[in-house]
Structure 1
Amino acid sequence: MKTQAAKRNTKNLALKGTAVQSSTLSYTYGAANAIDGIRYAPGVASSCSITAYQLNPWWRLDLLDSYKIYKVTVTNRADGWLEQTAGVEIRIGNSLENNGNNNPRCGVTSLVPAGSSVSFSCGGMKGRYVNMYLPNIQQYLTLCEVEVYGYRARTGQNLALKGTAVQSSTHSIYGASNAIDGIRYAPGKASSCSHTLNDLSPWWRLDLLDIYYVYNVTVTNRADCCLEQTTGVEIRIGNSLENNGNNNPRCAVTSLAPAGSSVSFSCGEMNGRYVNMYIPNIEAFLTLCEVEVYGTVKKQVVRVQVKAAENVDEAELKELVLKKVDFILLI
């Protein structure tokens, strides 16, 4: 009998994602062809994606969430030009730096027989983006199907939804709480986003109301303009409110992300109550359309020493312990 994890790994995650590529040979060979569920269709590169002939061509799948990826399967075209699927680096991660092509590498394709499918084991690599990348060569990149198998990397609920938020200042109607309203994108001018004034070292702070181990932080950019307002933001996590929480340890720094996109950052179990977004040492607006935080509560052990006489029964001992615990929680 298959385990629940094994059952989850049998579903092709790519079918629910979206795809883009560095260029398109003609309108019939779009990036989405490689995730249409059709490994092979008769005809000239039928149902395949093909880029133009270019330097460093790439194709990127957005899984729309972060997953642990165990297997990637690539299918080659059946009508010739097999080299267009050879030497392709499979890269997986959460960064969109260099269009996602700088993420860690799972494998590299060799010359794949016509119309055949080859699978690569990725050992549970974590990421939202799966890239196919031909570096340092001028070539077409053809993919007749890309399949991705794994399961969701993060567990639990978005902790930010139960928290509260403040920011260094507020531009018009764009309050801090807009970034934790559960709406990644709404049409309109910075709709449902938080937005500071043009401050020196602007910041936004989320109070999780408890101490958590934070595994993952996802930031969504605005879709209408001004992408630099979510660029160069330091993600800081900790328990201190010194300098408004901006002196807490740093998890990551955001780079320029496409309009309306969400980028996830792994924070490796950093623990803290506060999650800050901070642009230090420059005068800028800070805009956040959504901030999501995933992790688990940090359990705290309280040791209580009770001195009791030999004639104290179990009920009385329990009452003494509870009084001690209540006292500790109050101080």
Structure 2
Amino acid sequence: MKMTCSSYKFTSGFTRTSDVIVESYTMSLKQGVEVLVTLLLLNATYRCSALINLARGKPATASSVYGPLPGVAADGLPYTDWKHGSCFAVREGDNHPWWQVDLEAYSRIIDVAVTSRSDCCPERLHDFTIEVFTKNPATEIGTRATVCGTYNGAVTVPGQTVNVKCIRSVKGRYVRLKGRKNGSGDLLQFCEVKVFGSIVDGVHNAAKFNLARGKPAIASSVYGPLPGVAADGLPYTDWKHGSCFAVIEGDNHPWWQVDLEAYSRINDVAVTSRSDCCPERLHDFTIEVFTKNPATEIGARATLCGTYNGAVTVPGQTVNVKCIWSVKGRYVRLKGRKNGSGDLLQFCEVKVFGSIVDGVHNAAKFNLARGKPATASSVYGPLPGVAADGLPYTDWKHGSCFAVIEGDNHPWWQVDLEAYSSIIDVAVTSRSDCCPERLHDFTLEVFTKNPATEHSAKATLCGTYNGAVTVPGKTVNVKCVRPVKGRYVRLKGRKNGTGDLLQFCEVKVFGYVS
């Protein structure tokens, strides 16, 4: 018989998060004992819980561009109105519109979710086809498309997400959304594309992933936005968007460093210069890799990945440093060189390509919450998902902090990890420009079923935080009493008198998919 994992719980203890076809066969042994052998047609059994959004933060292109660059439709951010700059559109005169994402790895595509604009014109998302390619059809003439599926008609609900489930699992690297021009004035427009599936091991796969995206970063000094913006994966390369980083002018030994949060094999590093000014500020740098944090561990030894000599002269250019050989470590440091008075180190994005290494060095802890859907007991201001966007902003004006309404007497915030997982600890960051004490006396609970819809869902306690946070922008860690398994993680606050409300800027859930 055939079933979907969504209706089946495996004896190994996990339940599925996306519709994956399973075939079950019953075999009789000599003793008459029946053994249920489950064969996943798409991968080994554990893959059932590991369907992820492969498109998040990946490079995108399009047939034409009106407004924000194509990459905003794969930034994973929850904004669905035009003013936030996270929606994409082609030009009105584009008669053969398409948008395409490079997954950067040979993958198995199961289904694709596309979200329409919420403040206007949802019908601009209509009659589209999802195609998958092994080679880039934008550069390789004659590349053949494999159809995943189609969506017929127009979306009529603002901000609606429509799903296209592949007719069968489709393998490839490039996913293209091909629209259809429907008369004068019509144009293709949407706000987010999520491509669900899994990475395929094999000869087609270069096994290159951006390990740095959303990971914590520090620097020798800071002028302007915090160091983490250079690892946010966003496509902005001008200063006004707040996604570029710079050290202070007087920093004579400048460096920027990212913690990959896992022992990894580094193959190469890509660094993007500022596009609206001063690309030459990215010059003569070295990429070093450390097993221990050199900012806190005196004597931590560097392994050289490679160097870039000279200055970048093209605004917004991405330069690649390929490691002399694959280098293993956890911390990647970009070390600049001061070149006279007035010179400073500045760039907009760093991508570290490689793979996670299994072994004793690796705690296998990852932020499972990043980019995952979130809900809350009430909402004041930005939607709950901003607290799991992985961005480093901790002040209200950036729209990346979350709060419940003041009258909410039983406040909670919850993230769906979209996979049955083992939770080890949770980090929560307070607001930095005001009111850190609004994060106080909270409990972290883990559920297998969604307690917002399943009233009988039972909570397993991860841990609690007692008292109030007093330092603006502080991150507090709650380590689970023991590893807790589940899919939904809920932060449950406590109302503390009139005027009190639950507010914070980021939640990271560390663990691994079970």
Q: Normalised by the shorter chain, which TM-score bucket?
A: 0.3 to 0.5
Judging by fraction of residues, say which structure has more strand: 2
| Higher RCO (CA-CA < 8 Å; seq separation 6+) | 1
TM-score, normalized by length of structure 2? Answer: 0.29
**Over alpha carbons, which structure has the higher Rg?**
1
Judging by fraction of residues, say which structure has more helix: 1
TM-score, normalized by length of structure 1? Answer: 0.43
